[in-house]
Amino acid sequence: MKFYKFLLIAIFGTLFLFACSNDDDGIVVIDPNPDPEEMLAFENGFLVTNQGPFNTGFGSVDFVDATLTTADTDIYQDVNGDNLGNVVQSIGFSGDLAYVVANVSNRITVVNRFTFEEVARIETGLENPRYFVEANGKGYVSNWGDPNIATDDYVAVIDLTTNEVTGTIPVGEGPEEMIFNRFNLYVANQGGFGVNNTVTVIDPTTDMVSSTIIVGDVPNSLQLDTDGNLWVLAGGSPAFTGNETPGTLTRINTASNQVITTFLFGLNDHPNYLNISGSDLYYFLDGGVFKTTTVNFQTPATPELSGVNFFNMFVVNGGATLIGCNAGDFASNGTLEIYNLGDNSLTTTLNVGIIPDNVYVNP
């Protein structure tokens, strides 16, 4: 039985939390001010988004404890008795609230990030939403628009007090991941079902595009280093497009939004899943996890881990741990593979939902 269910049993079994029963409607009234420590079921751990089966079911969110040894699955369903919609793409945060983005369902479910109780839903002003970021007290959501139209992609601006879309900002085709550095919002335009090679820079004080930065084809990951530079990993155009291009890693000065350096991978190399922890830089390529440095980047000759099958990966715990999302056959439940980066050993494998894709620290 899942952890939250144990909490509910404890609450209903404690007489001090009961008030009275309304004979007219049969509703049991519970103390509206329970001990908050008892309700923080999902604090101090990791939230995992599972996309779920495409168009035939629902995505989910799991909670993994801080020791990365146990997983509590489908916590939104457990708490709310409902589903999150089709293709749970990502989660963004603002204070104590989490914004769960369901791509195909064109829905953002707003929940308390520690109890996962639903607070609100955003279901208008979205078209194929991808990622949520908070900046300057507003929410920003990347949207593909119609995937077959290259010119209708945008970032939606959300009033976080009313949970309403108040405006849109046109960007390049296929906007995906975004990152905010306290001054600008950076949007990786990957290309949707096509190929793009730009990063849009948005000024959140005006909600206007201030510049567009040319990077490699299909930018897939954004990370900031300790000096405030933006690193953009681009996978390159894949071979099936008929115009294969190599992956690239671009370092950008965020004070000027100018490219400092671009590193080129081999023609057939298409890296993904960039992580930066301190001065250590990690990426995934051809079943291997490679480690190098932001101080003097060089392409490593051999991987730290090899023969792994990741749909995404995350370096956590100050660079001590790597969490790999293994989607398996993309039809049944996937796994999280936990590695100790001190000796690169696999320490734990946890069963999670269908197509695990993103992992978030939930402090």
Report the predicted TM-score, pTM, of the whole model to 2 decimal places.
Answer: 0.89
Phi-psi region of 156 (alpha: psi -120 to 50; beta: other; left: phi over 0): beta
The 10s digit of each residue's pLDDT in 62-118 is 999 999 999 999 999 999 999 999 999 999 999 999 999 999 999 999 999 999 999
What's residue 39's pLDDT? 57
Domain boundaries, the chain: 1-39
Q: Over the stretch 160-207, which tens digit does the pLDDT of each residue have? A: 999 999 999 999 999 999 999 999 999 999 999 999 999 999 999 999
pLDDT for the residue 26: 33
The DSSP code for 27 is P
Rounded-to-integer distance, Cα 259 and Cα 237, Å: 20
pLDDT at residue 355 is higher than 90: yes
Q: How far apart are CA 356 and CA 330, in angstroms?
A: 9
The answer on pLDDT for 23 being more than 90 is no
Tokens of 172: 């390049």
The pLDDT of residue 94 is 98
Average pLDDT over residues 315-321: 98
In angstroms, rounded to a whole number, what is the distance separating the alpha carbons of residues 218 and 236? 5
Nearest-angstrom CA–CA distance, 174 and 145: 9
